[in-house]
Amino acid sequence: MSKFDRRKPKLPDVVANDSIRFHEVRVNAEGEALGILSKAAALNAARQRGLDLVLVTENAKPPVCKIVDLNKFLYQKKQKEKEQAKKQRESRIEVKEVQFKPNIDTHDFQTKCKHVQRFIEKGNHVKLMVRFRGREMANKQVGFQIISRLMETVEGLGFEAKPSLNGNRLIAIVKGEK
């Protein structure tokens, strides 16, 4: 048996020409409205121009069809879908995470502040986490001090979620202020 899939490629969900199941349709061609025509008259008008009759809006009364080149229509539809997917990807906000420990050194703190600054400049939200282990839980105020020190160090930050203690972790989510 062959490794290759021999099934036919899936055709797009576009109803065109003889596949249109409505008797009367509203027809548009090259920017002009031809009005409400029977399916046969609309197909005739499309064939005279050497183009295809494509169903655009099925839910309208009567349904709307367009006289266009089918391949060009499919290409434009595909490009539109790609553009919408790209915009959706770009508008998505990521949440980055930066972890601290209560006994963090000053240089390590400065490095993490630079990371937070870089994430904020890219438009991401940042989850700040101070993790306590063992006896460090006795000094929870240190975690609040670390977060407040970070807020003072990095400019243009605002809380999306205020610092809250969750088990042995102090968690806050910050975002850039615009």
Report pLDDT digits (tens) over 41-99: 999 999 998 998 998 888 888 899 999 998 998 899 999 999 999 888 877 888 999 99
Listed by start position, the domains of the chain span: 17-86, 95-176
pTM: 0.55
- CATH fold, domain 17-86, is Ubiquitin-like (UB roll) (3.10.20)
Q: Mean pLDDT, to the nearest integer, of 135-141?
A: 89
**pLDDT confidence bin for 10, thresholds 50/70/90:** low
Alpha-carbon span 37 to 26, nearest angstrom: 6
Q: What is residue 12's predicted lDDT score, i.e. its pLDDT?
A: 57
Confidence grade of residue 30 (pLDDT, cut at 50, 70, 90): confident
Return the percent helix, strand and coil in the chain, to nearest 5: 40, 30, 30
- Cα separations (Å) of 1 from 4, 8, 9, 74? 9, 17, 20, 34
Classify domain 95-176 at the CATH topology level. Translation Initiation Factor IF3 (3.30.110)
pLDDT in tens, 31-54: 888 889 898 999 999 999 899 899
Band (150; pLDDT cuts 50, 70, 90):
very high
